[in-house]
Structure 1
């Protein structure tokens, strides 16, 4: 079944975990620091973790932007430190690919541990993938853990199931409600809850029967920055995989998604995979247009039977589940069920 990755050890209450700013450095900006502290508090109080910062985590957005080497050093230090059991990304951004020249893949491969984040953290997930380690596409400190008033129960549930348990993760339910409402990160908004909307559940775009494969993917815009770099996955990673893709709060126009997907087709990737999981679009913008683009590209490739499950909550809308890279997943087309058939950790 295509590729296998090293699974990290599960997290336990009392474990020390590190927070890192590998992309945008806003966690350390004066006006946002309260938000970081709120996310840190949730990691401590809800999950029982001891949270430490790396030397540059809170140096602020200007420093972080100007020093990709220091970001990489923080990541290497967090992996090297035997007392640290997990690494939590503060937030995404748009240019963590600049860390690539400063990464020591041997350090990561020799020190397997939990890394979690999403959006521009896709780059760090590809770094872990190249090092042979399974990482976790999921909540970040400033967003989900620091959600106004309280974390969503759905997000808490899947963080616990995926990072704190070595039992098979099982069926991934679709949340009943969702939001991507933007409430500015001002301290006066701290007690303003975002408005939730009813969710419509998973939508099977095409496919029959049951498809299985190992999970690979991320934020589609960030994956574009990795193409033709040393991080781009090799053919054996795509073969028989379940590809998960989602778009960011930039809400790219459908035409661009069409171009990007056509590239996946031209590379032969879409012919190699066993299925696609597509994330709920931000604000539900282009919900139908993205579907049409997916149909169009798959029809061009005569892949009319490739299973595609749409509107899955693993990205830029809340609440969100956690996707472990390399874990064996299943799409049940007959019942529109998405399952992860093994544990994410050992």
Structure 2
């Protein structure tokens, strides 16, 4: 496996970059964005620094790459946070100055389309952090979710081991950012049944690789995923987006990863709780349950065919649902299937 380093951590009072390497949604939802910035200052004691494309929709990929490179190059910036995801960060990473990123490693926080950049940093040997959107999580209506807030604080400021906690309640029906009053009340939440464990009762340790499954398929098509041998022994992180990919497509993507020789090298997988509702697809509770069950079945099928030895942990709160736990991408994880515990080293 590639040798990876943990970048130095920020401290309260530090300046941190806030960037939009994917979609410039702060331009469309400034009320949500400003709440996220305020919480960065008030809850975490960090001073956000914006870049020229942070509030621009459709900025040229070269300009977004220039902002990212500048954020890493600036010695007064100690961490870099993405505002949100999107769908075209794959066009940005080729324009990054990799020599600058390697020479100035910093903690980077993002998820969803940011899988492109997390994977890019991984290939440069830099540990980054899956999660922590300025809009979605810091700008959460009502208040910060306590599990998200605690996980993000630990990932930002500490370097030790951290036990992930199953959420007692979860949500996937966000408030409508188009509504000016959307920030007044917390999103609707539902009772959780906790994590679901499959596979052998054993303890697995490794380094995390993966991300949003749809984006991983784009990266495979663009030939930007390392050889199977370079990722052997990784703990596979996978989660799906608000586009609600059908179960058969989830299976096919994993089948293709299996045919590439990747799945067989993974001793375990952390599977994010499936988001099963979106404004354009308002599934009923019964339909949501069926969607999640079908997705779990598709993932189980693929691993049974290509990696029957793997420990699988389903419904971990690390993807497109609320709350969101932060995990170190390329960082260490310990999965204890005997005592049903997951610990990560930040």
Normalising by structure 1, report the TM-score.
Answer: 0.93
How far apart in 2 are the matches of 1:337 and 1:281?
Answer: 20
Equivalent pair of 1:202/1:312 in contact (CA under 8 Å): yes
Say whether residues 1:308 and 2:308 are aligned partners. no
User: How big is the shift at 1:192?
Assistant: 2.3
**Alignment length, in residue pairs?**
333
The structure 1 residue matched to 2:160, chosen from 157, 167, 177, is 167
| Structure 1 segment 246-257 matched on structure 2, within 5 A | 246-257=239-250
User: How big is the shift at 1:11?
Assistant: 1.7
User: How big is the shift at 1:120?
Assistant: 0.4
How far apart in 1 are the matches of 2:189 and 2:3?
Answer: 38
How far apart in 2 are the matches of 1:163 and 1:300?
Answer: 38
The structure 2 residue matched to 1:127, chosen from 105, 114, 120, is 120
The structure 2 residue matched to 1:34, chosen from 26, 31, 34, is 31
Normalising by structure 2, report the TM-score.
Answer: 0.93
1:281 maps to what in 2? 274
How far apart in 2 are the matches of 1:214 and 1:144?
Answer: 25
User: How big is the shift at 1:54?
Assistant: 0.7
Say whether residues 1:330 and 2:329 are aligned partners. no
Equivalent pair of 2:93/2:117 in contact (CA under 8 Å): no
How far apart in 2 are the matches of 1:55 and 1:131?
Answer: 25
Equivalent pair of 2:16/2:48 in contact (CA under 8 Å): yes
Unaligned runs of 5+ in 1: none
The structure 2 residue matched to 1:114, chosen from 107, 112, 115, is 107
| Structure 1 segment 204-215 matched on structure 2, within 5 A | 204-215=197-208
How far apart in 2 are the matches of 1:236 and 1:48?
Answer: 41
Provide the aligned C-alpha RMSD in A. Answer: 1.4
Note the alpha carbon deviations across 1:290-328, whole angstroms, 9 max, x for none. Answer: 121122222323x33311111100110011111101222
The structure 2 residue matched to 1:45, chosen from 35, 42, 45, is 42
User: How big is the shift at 1:223?
Assistant: 0.8
Secondary structure in structure 1 of the residue aligned to 2:197: strand
| Structure 1 segment 79-98 matched on structure 2, within 5 A | 79-98=72-91
How far apart in 1 are the matches of 2:322 and 2:234?
Answer: 26
Note the alpha carbon deviations across 1:183-230, whole angstroms, 9 max, x for none. Answer: 110222220221111111110122221112111110001111111435
Unaligned runs of 5+ in 2: 277-287
2:281 maps to what in 1? none
Equivalent pair of 2:2/2:125 in contact (CA under 8 Å): no
Secondary structure in structure 1 of the residue aligned to 2:187: coil
